[in-house]
Amino acid sequence: MTAPRTLYDKIWDDHVVHQAEDGTCLLYIDRHLVHEVTSPQAFEGLRMSGRKVRAPEKTIAVPDHNVPTTLDRANAATMTEDSRIQVAALDENARDFGIHYYPVSDVRQGIVHIVGPEQGWTLPGMTVVCGDSHTATHGAFGSLAHGIGTSEVEHVLATQTLIQRKAKNMKVEITGSLRAGVTAKDITLSVIGATGTAGGTGYVIEYCGQAIRELSMEGRMTVCNMAIEGGARAGLIAPDEKTFAYCMGRPHAPKGAKWEAAVAYWKTLFSDEGAHWDKVVTLRGEDIAPVVTWGTSPEDVLPITGTVPSPDSFTGGKVEAAQRSLDYMGLTPGQKLTDIAIDTVFIGSCTNGRIEDLRAAAAILKGKKIKVKRAMVVPGSGLVRAQAEEEGLAQIFIDAGFEWRLAGCSMCLAMNPDQLAPGERCAATSNRNFEGRQGRGGRTHLMSPAMAAAAALTGHLTDVREVMGETV
């Protein structure tokens, strides 16, 4: 009998190619996702050293960060010159090195972390990397997924392996069920609020408990997506019937006998009874409220019923950081969160740009009009967009006064023209509220799609449960 192992231990053990005496491992990588911003220097490095991509059939590229999301994006003039060069470089690298590619013109194009699962590239038990910190998203399938830097992108391209030391095991359990109006986004933000942005540093987190089991695959992806904001190297959720159902029939999922063999293996992917955890955090699902962020770090989380905190309520370096956040955000301690007026609403990103997110927002908006200056929905992929149109969600957004965009990262990081102006305040479903993230001087409040929709309707931060109360 081997000692009880965690899910992370199991996936790790199955991918070690070589272990050095000091414990440094060479880990085999099953899927390598690539986007235009963090890859050009890596491909250039390969060219300069005359190296090839070792496993082009396991390497998948899609442009997402820079691409315009306006309907006229086929017109090259919608892109700045440097963005155009970066996307063109990916086109060329994909062609030259023979990797799978979804160009901007392809309906399957979208945010890399939405496209991977959608196309069946991401499967349980795999190791997945991408030159992007939100690679953690793929952990929702019980795959070990981490973000890497560009040098590592080059390393994986050349060798299909990654040099890693094993992280510690952390368990985050959400017991019981969520209350009405509370979503996966509120779970993941609340966990970061409880543990801090460095709480997971050095760990791989496994999320478990009834509230996690009750989430859809979309919701699980939202939870794992923000593991990185909690500092963790990766987030994981053990695969179950919901996972298998999601994967079945996807273009790159196995079929027939291979599918059967895969499911049999996937069913062994769970943390054994008695496995060792280096850290355990437990939250009660019933205690989680709809939350928003007030500051410029994702750990600055409060229930929507709260008030803006005073810097003095913190300790150490956080006192100065909180003061700086409040100045940047233009907020005063004691102010009720629901009194904060919103200019702009952004629904999208790899955190909340999937079909379920759009359904949740549309349910709040149906038959109503927005009171904010501008609001946009940016679906996570061309296929999410198409499905939302088919379900009539697009029309609900348009009727409410939202712009209905094409797929991309958009205002999540504002590398394309979708940006906030200085001082503009945004209710956003993305994952980072850093200074300048959505545009220099822009002020970001993170929240769930339902909460963002509620803010769009009232023009200020709003407890979605009150808006829901009106509708029923």
Partner 1 sequence: MQKFTTLTGIAAPMPLVNIDTDMIIPKQFLKTIQRSGLGKNLFDEMRYTQDGQEIPEFVLNQPAYRNAEILIAGDNFGCGSSREHAPWALLDFGIRCVISTSFADIFYNNCFKNGILPIVMPQDVVDVLMADAKRGANARMTVDLVAQTVTTSDGQSFGFDVDSHRKHCLLNGLDDIGLTLEKASAIDRFESQAASLRPWA
User: Looking at 277-285, 303-311, 405-413, 443-451, which segment touches ligand SF4 (CB under 6 A)?
Assistant: 405-413
One character per residue 342-361, x = contact with ligand SF4 (rule: CB under 6 A): -------xx-----------
C-alpha to C-alpha distance for 379 and 453, rounded to whole angstroms: 15
- Is residue 224 at the binding interface for partner 1, with CB under 8 A as the rule? no
Candidates 53, 191, 275, 415; binder of partner 1 (CB under 8 A) is 415
Mask 103-142, x = binds ligand SF4 (CB under 6 A)? --------x-x------------------x-x--------
Among candidate residues 328, 321, 331, the one with its CA nearest the CA of residue 441: 328
* Of positions 68, 110, 139, 147, contacts partner 1 by CB under 8 A: 147
State which of positions 425-444 bind ligand SF4 (CB under 6 A): 430-431
**Rounded distance between C-alpha atoms, residue 180 and residue 64, angstroms:** 33
Of residues 416 through 435, those in contact with partner 1 by CB under 8 A are: 422, 432, 434-435
* 159 vs 310 by CB, closer to partner 1: 159
Asked whether 224 and 192 are in contact (CB, 8 A), the reply is no
Alpha carbons 266 and 60: distance in angstroms, whole number: 23
- The C-alpha atoms of residue 369 and residue 365 are separated, in whole angstroms, by 7
| Binding-site member from 149, 249, 423, 469 for partner 1 (CB under 8 A) | 149
Cβ contacts of 250 within 8 Å, gap of 6 or more:
117, 118, 119, 120
Residue 412 contacts ligand SF4 per CB under 6 A? yes
The HSE-up count of residue 309 (CA atoms within 13 Å, CB side) is 22
Q: Which stretch binds ligand SF4 (CB under 6 A): 81-89, 121-129, 322-330, 406-414?
A: 406-414
Please select the residue that binds partner 1; options are 56, 78, 259, 363, rule is CB under 8 A: 259
Residue from 67, 148, 329, 376 binding partner 1 (CB under 8 A):
148
- How far apart are the C-alpha atoms of 440 and 452, rounded to whole Å? 21
Q: Which is nearer to partner 1, 99 or 355 (CB)?
A: 99
Residue 173 vs 299, nearer CB to partner 1: 299
Q: Which does 430 bind (CB under 5 to 8 A by kind): ligand SF4, partner 1, none?
A: ligand SF4
Min separation Cβ 461 and partner 1, Å:
23
One residue of 215, 364, 388, 409 binding ligand SF4 per CB under 6 A: 409
Pick from 49, 105, 273, 390 the residue near partner 1 by CB under 8 A: 49
d(CA 58, CA 423): 43
| Residue 331, amino acid | L
Amino acid occupying residue 260:
E
> How many angstroms separate the CA atoms of 15 and 374, rounded?
47
Instruction: Report 309-348 residues binding partner 1 (CB under 8 A).
Output: 316-318, 320-321, 324
Which of partner 1, ligand SF4, none is residue 349 near (CB under 5 to 8 Å by kind)?
A: ligand SF4
* 65 touching ligand SF4, by CB under 6 A: yes
Among residues 87, 292, 337, 413, the one that binds ligand SF4 under rule CB under 6 A: 413
User: Which residue, among 408, 355, 410, 404, has the nearest Cα to 375 in the 3D structure?
Assistant: 404
- CB burial of 210-249 (b: ≥16 within 10 Å; e: otherwise) equals ebbeebebbbbbbbbbbbbbbbbbbbbbbbbebbbebbee
Residue of the chain from 13, 74, 75, 151 that contacts partner 1 (CB under 8 A): 151
| Among ligand SF4, partner 1, none, partner that 22 touches (CB below 5 to 8 angstroms by kind) | partner 1
Q: How many CB atoms lie within 10 A of CB 68?
A: 23
Strands 234-236, 279-284: pairing kind: unpaired
Strands 16-19 and 25-28, by their bridges, are: antiparallel
Where does this chain bind ligand SF4 (CB under 6 A)? 64-65, 111, 113, 132, 134, 349-350, 409, 412-413, 430-431
